[in-house]
């Protein structure tokens, strides 16, 4: 039975930069938790950043660009936290490898976890298409990343993974 990496804040852990969470109540998610499939993970806590912490956004691109060295992650006081975000992403990938994880459900718009939309680096609330650093790294390693509005699609993908396992 395949396990799923899930953003800890979606599971109700108050690990966001502002000390809050993104608790999601959903039947599929509860079922996966009861099946012991869910591995909670917060890349920003894993890399040693505190809760609360300063908000950060990707500057000059998205997570793929950060990993390629052409964009940075800057917090709202102007400090470069690129290394921390890359470290968190590497630790998320290591967790996936440990548990043979092929699917992740990550919180949307986060500079770490966002899978298709992130903030644009201006701290103005403006979003752009793109991935966070962790979502980008997992995707580059063949792990399918969904956000919390895509649980129906995630459930379908998980079913395919389970079927392929028993074929």
Q: Does 110 contact ligand SF4 by CB under 6 A?
A: yes
- Listed residue (123, 148, 135) closest to 63, CA to CA: 135
Rule CB under 6 A: choose which of 16, 37, 86, 144 binds ligand SF4: 16
Rule CB under 6 A: choose which of 107, 136, 143, 158 binds ligand SF4: 107
Of 82 and 110, the one with the shorter C-beta distance to ligand SF4 is: 110
d(CA 91, CA 41): 9
> Interaction with ligand SF4 in 40-69: which residues (CB under 6 A)?
42-44
Three-state secondary-structure class, residue 89: helix
d(CA 114, CA 107): 6
Q: Do strands 144-147 and 72-75 pair parallel, antiparallel, or not at all (unpaired)?
A: unpaired
Contact region with ligand SF4 (CB under 6 A), list: 36-44, 71-79, 96-104, 154-162: 36-44
Positions in the binding site for ligand SF4 (CB under 6 A): 7-9, 15-16, 42-44, 107, 110, 112-113
């Amino acid at each position: 039975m395949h396990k799923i990496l899930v953003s800890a804040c979606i599971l109700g852990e108050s690990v966001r930069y502002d000390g809050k969470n993104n608790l999601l109540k959903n039947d599929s998610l509860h079922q996966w938790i009861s099946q012991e499939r869910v591995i909670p993970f917060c890349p920003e806590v894993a890399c040693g950043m505190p809760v609360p912490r300063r908000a950060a956004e990707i500057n000059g691109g998205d997570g793929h660009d950060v990993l390629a060295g052409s964009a940075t992650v800057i917090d709202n006081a102007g400090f470069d936290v690129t290394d921390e975000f890359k470290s968190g992403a590497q630790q998320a990938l290591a967790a996936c490898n440990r548990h043979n994880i092929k699917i992740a459900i990550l919180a949307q718009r986060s500079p770490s976890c966002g899978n298709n939309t992130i903030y644009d680096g201006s701290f103005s609330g403006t979003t752009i298409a793109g991935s966070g650093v962790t979502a980008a790294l997992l995707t580059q390693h063949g792990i399918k990343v969904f956000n919390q509005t895509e649980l129906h699609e995630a459930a379908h993908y998980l079913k395919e993974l389970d079927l392929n396992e028993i074929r």
